[in-house]
Structure 1
Amino acid sequence: MAATKQRAAAFVPVRLSSSRLPEKHLKLIGTRLLISWVIHRLKAAHELDEIVICTTSEKQNEKLKEITDLEHVSLFVYDGNPDDVVGRLTAASVKHNADICVLASGDCPLLSSETIDLMVRMLKENPEADNVLFSDIDGRLPIHEGIIVSRRTLWELADKFSDTPALREHQFPVFLRNVYPDKFSHIKNIYVRDDDIFYSISHRISIDTPDDLKFINRLYTMLQTAGEEFNLRNAIAAIFKNPDIVNINKHVYRKTLEDVTVRVVFFVAGDNNHLQLSIEVADVLVNRYGIGVRVLTFDESSKKIIEESGLRADVSAADRLVDFHKEFPFNAVVIDTDSNTHKLIDSIKKSVNAKVIILSEHGGAENSAKEIFQVLGN
């Protein structure tokens, strides 16, 4: 009697509301969007029966429908809590009837299709196993980011026992961190030793901030100039040949499960010097401290300059802060010193519960960002 075919599907969590790099999945890397690179990698995997982009019912995510139609992949829209990643992925796996579930990061354009195939095959060939993990080499794990390969039954179990917001808002920490050992004691992990090249370097290859995007685009340009394909193997080789390239984003803060989301609004009403300083300080907060930033300004020309830097900008006035806070629940407002300071501070304090910080013109962007970060921590 023939063995029952095990259906494998890739599930890609995507929301367009990133506070550090707005709509990052729609940013270009060379000639393709980030999300299109992710789909391209998954289409190259031979062991997958379906690719499912998993988003939420928030209005800004409606843009994904056109992309999934063009790419001929599935779109799953979750109507539950937008922050419930575990619920969203588990519901998608049930809806699409997957036996083997591949969680593939929507932030990583350098996913390895060969590695995904290897991990899926291991589960298919080991029916007693529930989850595939990477073996280490002398304590070092491979460079891959955002790949989890498990049976759907494990995802369903994780959904059942992920009982705090922190456990639900991230990608299955309840079993990856073994939070409740007694609930998962019967789960069997198997380990894969990947190709040595993937263990040869440790550097972030996902895109969370403007500096990450600069790094990946620089890699892409280098490989194109050399006439080489943009893929993970060639990217690793390029980094070895050009080690200084990692300085572009080696300082970027990598968020952890324990991090609390912090958001800051910059209110810029001054001249170009004030605008440029605000952009530089905001850039440090995003990349070095992992803080979400939006910038409010008074005119379209300033908005264009801000958005060209990779930040999200809106043309607005102080009297709209209450509505804006509902959309982007910020912890602090940073005001440039050229604004009508006292009047603006009074207006903010009357309308929202947030700290008000005056941006200093002295000390440079690094010091100003550090001071803001310290105020936010108090």
Structure 2
Amino acid sequence: MVIIVQARMASTRLPGKVMLPVLGKTILAMMIERLQMIQHKATVVIATSVNPEDDIIEQEAHSLNIPCYRGDQNNLLDRHYQAALQHNADVVLKIPSDCPLIDPQAIDRVLTYFFDQTVTPDYVSNLHPATWPDGNDVEIMTMACLKQAWENAEKNLELEHTTPYIWENPQLFNIGNVTWETGLDYSMSHRFTIDYQEDYLFIKRVFEELYPINKNFSCDDILDLLERKPEIYQINAGYAGVNWYRNHLNELKTIQPEQTKQAPVSQ
């Protein structure tokens, strides 16, 4: 089983975001540390581009003793497939590098669901529909499923975002979804992902508050912190619900307008 973390320096809204500092480490290093806390056994691979500006990503991977695959900047589907192929993966997890606060327990819950099914699903996520706070994105697929997408996907959004071909074609795949066990839906109200400067300030503050006390802090610990210190929640609250879907509503059959929001006008 391989966890593939897509990472690159080029970002129109927050360039170099994965290498921003938090408590003397990088955002990417903090995220890798959280991925290594899961109970299931998996190999973590960083998948970046061949572009020269991403040399620093490869250097960071080496410093973390994590394998690094380099491929096409824009074809993330090919990058994931080739990285999985290189590491002889039978099961592939896609977890983007903009989720540094991802809860290891959320990953384990989705994995447990995947492995507990009588018939192995092709694809399982906690995103369709999403219920966890944004930034706890877990997508699991068999290698055969990823290969089928790689062979057949043609649209730019399918290549750029890796998995839309799968979840947009439920008639072709055995698809499962895991909802947050609380019964709540914070996917549009709580933002733990990084895409804007305010996100970085929020994530940095959460790590500064929780990491020194318990490195393996959970989603519940973050929510408790936000209850105690609502000013932290407000740092990036204006971007809650903003995700990439907003740019592709006319192309996505399974995504509804209420599942995304436009960024504030100032951006």
TM-score w.r.t. length of structure 1: 0.59
Preserved contact between residue 170 and residue 257 of structure 1 (Cα < 8 Å):
no
Distance 1:110 1:258, change over 3 A: closer
State which structure, 1 or 2, has the greater radius of gyration over its C-alpha atoms: 1
Partner of 2:121: 129
Preserved contact between residue 9 and residue 18 of structure 2 (Cα < 8 Å):
yes
1:254 is matched by which residue type in structure 2?
V
2:115 is matched by which residue type in structure 1?
K
Measure the CA separation in 2 of the matches of 1:168 and 1:118: 27
Does residue 1:97 correspond to 2:73, yes or no? Answer: no
Does residue 1:242 correspond to 2:229, yes or no? Answer: yes
1:49 is matched by which residue type in structure 2?
A
Q: Give matches, 1:184-203, under 5 Å.
A: 184-196=170-182, 199=185, 202-203=189-190
Partner of 1:35: 28
2:237 is matched by which residue type in structure 1?
K
Specify which of 39, 45, 56 is matched with residue 52 of structure 1.
45
Q: Any idea what SS the aligned residue of 1:251 has?
A: helix
Specify which of 60, 70, 78 is matched with residue 67 of structure 1.
60
Measure the CA separation in 2 of the matches of 1:144 and 1:152: 26
Measure the CA separation in 2 of the matches of 1:233 and 1:207: 19
Specify which of 7, 11, 23 is matched with residue 4 of structure 2.
11
In structure 1, stretches of 5+ residues that fail to align are: 1-7, 261-286, 290-365, 370-378
In structure 2, stretches of 5+ residues that fail to align are: 249-262
Q: Give matches, 1:80-95, under 5 Å.
A: 80=72, 82-95=73-86
More strand by share: 1
Distance 1:140 1:26, change over 3 A: closer
Measure the CA separation in 2 of the matches of 1:113 and 1:98: 20
2:197 is matched by which residue type in structure 1?
P
Distance 1:197 1:35, change over 3 A: farther
Distance 1:34 1:198, change over 3 A: farther
Measure the CA separation in 2 of the matches of 1:153 and 1:103: 15
Measure the CA separation in 2 of the matches of 1:60 and 1:163: 27
Distance 1:205 1:171, change over 3 A: farther
Measure the CA separation in 2 of the matches of 1:74 and 1:85: 17
Instruction: State the superposition RMSD in angstroms.
Output: 2.7
Partner of 1:211: 198
Percent of counterpart pairs with the same letter? Answer: 19
More helix by share: 1
Distance 1:144 1:47, change over 3 A: farther
Preserved contact between residue 100 and residue 149 of structure 1 (Cα < 8 Å):
yes
Aligned residues: 248
TM-score w.r.t. length of structure 2: 0.82
Q: CA shift at 1:246, angstroms?
A: 2.4
2:68 is matched by which residue type in structure 1?
L
Measure the CA separation in 2 of the matches of 1:11 and 1:101: 7
